[in-house]
Structures are given as C-alpha cells and as structure tokens.
Structure 1
Amino acid sequence: MDTTPQQSRTDHNVWAAIFADDPLALRAWLVGIGFEEGIVVPDEDGVSIHHSELLWPEGGRVMVSTRDTKEQEWEGVGRVSLYVVTADPAAVHERAVAAGATITRPLKNESDYESRGFSCTDPEGNHWSFGTYAG
C-alpha cells in the first residue's frame, strides 16, 4: 500500500451528521457562528427534524437531525469532534464567543504546523475546531 501523501488532488467535502436533543437550538448556534441556513425536512410528527443542512460559506456542510434512539445504534449526543477550515478564525472566534460557546483551546498560532485557530464546544457538547490549516 502506498502511503505517500498526494501532493496534488481535488478535495470533495465530507458532510458530518450531528444528532441533537434540540436540533433547532444547535442550528441557531451554528448560524450564529457563521454557518448559512440550508434545507430543513421535518419528521412526520411535525416536531422533530428528520434531516437538515447548514452550509459553511468557505465550503462544506453539516447535517443536523433530531436524535432518534429507535434508529441509531448508539446512545447520547455530543459525541462528535469536527475541524472546519476558515480563512478568518478570529472572526469565527468572535462569533463563537458571542454565541456563548465554551472555548476549550484559545485562538492562537500553532508552532508545530502553520495554522491559526481555536476550539470550542456547542450547546450539545460537540467539539469544534476552526483553523487555517487546510492540509
């Protein structure tokens, strides 16, 4: 198996799926830190969210749905850790603080690799890192 990193490639996006106890609140928090509204598909009960998408302005999406313990093979929420590439982590940091994020790693320049970024948790306990490192 060739483990040599590819120097030239076209990246496609990975869409993370996040299941939440309060997906509307999580969507509002994500919009508050800079994600853009995408589609919302309500569940048959008219209350739960079957599927929804939020778009990162610099590329990529996240999907947010209501946690359904009947269909999921795992328990609980707040089990995901995501990294989002951004050209302006200071602006995202400012919006995250304003949205009430718990900052778990302060905004800083990394000494081991060329990146500036920070980490935080959302209201559901998911871990988010934002930085300039794009691979």
Structure 2
Amino acid sequence: MTGDEGARPSIYPTLQYADAKAAIRQLTEALGFTELAVYEGEDGSVVHAELTQGNGAVMVGSKGRGGRFDEAMKSGSTAGVYVVVADVDAHHRRAVEHGTEILMPPTDQDYGSRDYMARDLEGNVWSFGTYAPEVRG
C-alpha cells in the first residue's frame, strides 16, 4: 500500500447481481469486505450498496430495477476486480471456508505479487493479492 489508506478512491467498480443480498453476504462473510451502506427499494431489491476493502470500495446493486445503468449493463459480461490484501493465504483460507469457488490458489507471480483468484456466486472474477501499484494523480 502507499500509505493512502484514508484517501478516497477515484475508481469504484460497480457490479449488478440477480441476488444482490446473497452477493453482499458472500463478499462480506467470505471475502472480507465491510458493508458501508445498503439502500433497498420498496420491493426489497438492493438499489445501491457500498462495500469497502482497505482504501478501496465497490458499489453493488440488483439487476432488473430499470434505469439507464441497468439497461446499459443488461448485455454486459461479468466483471473482474483486483483487490489488494495484506495476507493472501489467510484471505484465501477464509474464502475456502465459506465455499467460494477458487479459480487459482495462492500463487507467487514473476512480478513479485502473491495472488489468488475466485469467482463469486454470479460469475464475477475477483483477484486478491499483494500487488499494489502506486497511482499518481
């Protein structure tokens, strides 16, 4: 990390799920995210949620609610997101304990990172590792 743990990220991956509540449970319980905010519609769908990990965040919502973003995402493919974690092996163990599909076990990479890859309940690919490129504004 670059010491900017308190800084606001400038990129927020946004993911839509058929069952956003189940996705939020998996992301928090199995993959170590913290629920920052969840806003539900009258029908119980997740209108908007924010989950944090370190100084990063993702936004999550339910598919099929209508609106421009929902329409734009209708034909979209799954997403891939990389998340920096301090202890890859402990993070991986937690994911396995919660039944998360592991696509690649913790692996040392040629560029100095240790990563593993998982797939969430709706096919999004998540990579967790130690590689944290310095981003300059």
Per-residue deviation, 1:39: 0.8
For 2:83 and 2:77, locate their aligned partners in 1 and report how far apart those are by CA, in whole Å: 17
Name the TM-score, length of structure 1 as normaliser.
0.83
* CA separation of 1:61 and 1:74: change in aligned 2, threshold 3 A: closer
* CA separation of 1:98 and 1:77: change in aligned 2, threshold 3 A: farther
Q: Considering only aligned residues, what root-mean-square deviation do their CA atoms show, in Å?
A: 2.0
* CA separation of 1:89 and 1:77: change in aligned 2, threshold 3 A: farther
Q: How many residues were matched structurally?
A: 124
Normalized per residue, which structure has more helix? Answer: 2
For 1:54 and 1:37, locate their aligned partners in 2 and report how far apart those are by CA, in whole Å: 5
For 2:50 and 2:128, locate their aligned partners in 1 and report how far apart those are by CA, in whole Å: 19
Q: Pick the aligned partner of 1:19 from 16, 21, 24.
A: 16
Deviations 1:18-39 (A, max 9, x none): 1000000000001112111111
* Structure 1 counterpart of 2:26, one-letter code: W
* Structure 1 counterpart of 2:116, one-letter code: F
* Structure 2 counterpart of 1:19, one-letter code: Q
Confirm whether residue 31 of structure 1 aligns to residue 25 of structure 2.
Answer: no
Per-residue deviation, 1:77: 7.2
Give yes or no for contact 2:38–2:50 (8 Å, CA) kept in 1: yes
Give yes or no for contact 1:102–1:120 (8 Å, CA) kept in 2: yes
For 2:48 and 2:114, locate their aligned partners in 1 and report how far apart those are by CA, in whole Å: 32
Give yes or no for contact 2:84–2:130 (8 Å, CA) kept in 1: yes
Structure 2 residues without counterparts, runs of 5 or longer: none
Name the TM-score, length of structure 2 as normaliser.
0.82
